[in-house]
Amino acid sequence: MSKLQDTMFQEIRNKDIFKQSQQYAFEYLEEIFNRNIYPTEDAVNDLSNFDEDLPTNTTKSESVLKQLNEYGKDATIATLGGRYFGFVTGSVVPIGLAAKQLGTFWDQSSALYATSPIGSKLEAVVEKWFVDIFNLPKQTCAGFVSGTSVANVCGLAAARYRILQKNNWDINKKGLRNAPEIRIVSGKHAHSTILKAVSLLGLGQDNIEWVDVDNQGRIIPELIPELDKNTILILQAGNVNSGAFDNFDMICDKANKADAWIHIDGAFGLWAGTVEQLKHLTKGMEKASSWAVDGHKTLNTPYDSGIVLCADQEALTSALHASGSYLIESKARDGLFYTPEMSRRARIIELWAIMRYLGKNGIDEMILTMHLRAKQFENEISQISGFQVKNDVVFNQVVVKCESDELTDKVLNTIQNLGECWLGGSVWFGKKVMRVSVCSWATTEADISRSVASFEKALMMNK
Ligand SMILES: *Cc1c(COP(=O)(O)O)cnc(C)c1O
């Protein structure tokens, strides 16, 4: 045995580094719900501690952990807590952290049943749960990927495969050269990852037929051009600024009559479809062909967790086809047929644990509470003169602005520096806005009031 092997076996036996890592993690949990949301300048400057050449010699594990903890923890963003409203980020349901911790030790690759029976089983179970809670067509299959960016690529790849196959064109063999034309129709407020997916798939952003949106960012149904069997129609559940939903019920009927492929980007918004009081927002979404949704946003799973759902299993698995003489196909689920990757960490573990823990009612309650906190924010901020809410708060997003672009910028900057809460800016119909996304299970009434107070203070400081 080499000396290095011997040391590593000792670490496994005495478990000191694991205990130390857990202790650091617990200390982090103790403070992160109350810490400043954004790292201090000192903490960010201290990151220079990581600027070192690759060491020549092996060092001690304890010192690696110590360095990581000492200079790493304070340069994290407090997304676990209740006052982070940036992007659409989400916290983590505690059982998700615990399950992930256990799963870390298992270190499973959920490529095949043969590489992880437990990964395969949990994926099969959760796939059914998704079909059930979103009321999707029975045959709908799921691929567990890193996020909606990849889920969008997968859904659109399935669309591309199916449309060309209907034209007797095998995209996998022939590629796009001289291929029949695929049309893409989308609302002007599509998420940037839709553009990325269209580029990656060689469909060309210039080929998108853009449709105007209304004042909430929803595609205007009457302006959707004539669709046909060679068209991919891209819709949205949850506009990234306003949280608005396209009118699926009406649009999907029309698109299905034309035999078009409908893909819904529902990164955070699709979850409205599980909540009794909110499901009117996603009415008719089950009539689409593919859907992309995140676990790591509204459902509060750990990063990274996205799901592609596809009613046309053959299209999805053909589009993402994998072959190799050494692949051991089994009767059970082999995850790699539903995703672009071969090796993937078994992110299904945390997704399963959180859904198993919350149950249908818990998911409902958690997501409805996010909506109610967003409404609370809307109410409280509207009462302060100098702030205007620019969207209908139908879900979890609140778009806020001040009297001028300049003031909005300054106030946002001050809010970010005050450290009480954190949110980002955006542009909404040509105007600078602040974008509040309520998507943490941990956001309480008090967190909202405290954050609104910080908005008010920031406005005063810039008057
Ligand atoms: C966040 C988001 C995406 C991208 O999802 P990732 O999980 O970050 O890859 C796509 N579409 C919408 C509407 C989003 O909000």
141-145 and 306-310 strand pairing:
antiparallel
What is the distance between the alpha carbons of residues 28 and 25, in angstroms, rounded to a whole number? 5
What is the distance between the alpha carbons of residues 412 and 409, in angstroms, rounded to a whole number? 5
**306 CB under 6 A from ligand 1?**
yes
What are the Cα distances from residue 27, in Å, to 20, 24, 155, 303?
11, 5, 41, 21
Per residue in 109-118, pLDDT tens?
A: 999 999 999 9
Q: Is the pLDDT of residue 374 over 90?
A: yes
State which of 145, 188, 193 you would mutate to test the pocket of ligand 1, scoring each by most atoms of that ligand within 8 A of its C-beta.
193
261-265 and 397-401 strand pairing:
unpaired
- The pLDDT of residue 363: 98
Reading the block at residue 325, the tokens are 């003489």
Give the burial string for 9-31 (b: 16+ CB within 10 Å, else e): eeeeeeeeebeebeebeeebeee
- The pLDDT of residue 265: 98
Q: How far is the CA of 462 from the centre of ligand 1 (A)?
A: 33
Per residue in 296-342, pLDDT tens?
A: 999 999 999 999 999 999 999 999 987 766 777 788 999 999 999 99
What is the rounded average pLDDT of the residues 263-279? 98
424-428 and 431-437 strand pairing:
antiparallel
Cα dihedral 129, 132, 135, 140, rounded to 10, equals: 60
- The pLDDT of residue 155: 98
- The pLDDT of residue 329: 75
Q: How far is the CA of 296 from the centre of ligand 1 (A)?
A: 10
Q: How far is the CA of 269 from the centre of ligand 1 (A)?
A: 10
Q: What is the DSSP letter of 38?
A: S
Residues 6+ positions from 64 with CB-CB distance below 8 Å = none
**155 CB under 6 A from ligand 1?**
no
- The pLDDT of residue 205: 98
What is the rounded average pLDDT of the residues 247-270? 98
**197 CB under 6 A from ligand 1?**
no
Q: What percent of the chain has pLDDT over 90?
A: 97
Per residue in 1-59, pLDDT tens?
A: 999 999 999 999 999 999 999 999 999 999 999 999 999 999 999 999 999 999 999 99
Q: Is the pLDDT of residue 401 over 80?
A: yes
Per residue in 430-444, pLDDT tens?
A: 999 999 999 999 999
Q: What burial class does residue 432 get, using C-beta atoms within 10 Å of its C-beta: 0-12 exposed, 13-18 middle, 19+ buried?
A: middle
What is the rounded average pLDDT of the residues 361-377? 98
What is the distance between the alpha carbons of residues 295 and 129, in angstroms, rounded to a whole number? 13
Q: How far is the CA of 241 from the centre of ligand 1 (A)?
A: 12
Are 185 and 159 in contact by the 8 Å Cβ rule? The answer is no
The answer to whether the bond into 74 is cis (omega within 30° of 0) is no
- 427-222-220 Cα angle (round to 5): 15
- The pLDDT of residue 237: 98
Closest residue to atom 2 of ligand 1, CA basis? 267
Which residue is associated with the tokens 């050494």?
326
User: Looking at ligand 1, which atom is closest to the CA of residue 294?
Assistant: 7
User: Looking at ligand 1, which atom is closest to the CA of residue 149?
Assistant: 9
Please choose, from the candidates 449, 453, 425, 420, the residue with its C-alpha nearest in 3D space to the C-alpha of residue 437.
Answer: 425
Q: How far is the CA of 87 from the centre of ligand 1 (A)?
A: 9
Residues 6+ positions from 348 with CB-CB distance below 8 Å = 110, 119, 122, 123, 126, 144
Q: What burial class does residue 45 get, using C-beta atoms within 10 Å of its C-beta: 0-12 exposed, 13-18 middle, 19+ buried?
A: exposed
Question: Mean pLDDT for the chain?
Answer: 97
User: Looking at ligand 1, which atom is closest to the CA of residue 268?
Assistant: 15
Per residue in 214-243, pLDDT tens?
A: 999 999 999 999 999 999 999 999 999 999
Q: What percent of the chain has pLDDT over 70?
A: 99
What are the Cα distances from residue 124, in Å, to 299, 346, 357, 425, 427?
19, 13, 17, 39, 41
Closest residue to atom 14 of ligand 1, CA basis? 267
Cα dihedral 343, 267, 240, 279, rounded to 10, equals: -170
What is the rounded average pLDDT of the residues 209-214? 98
Residue 249 phi, psi dihedral angles, 5° rounding? -55, -50
Are 262 and 250 in contact by the 8 Å Cβ rule? The answer is no
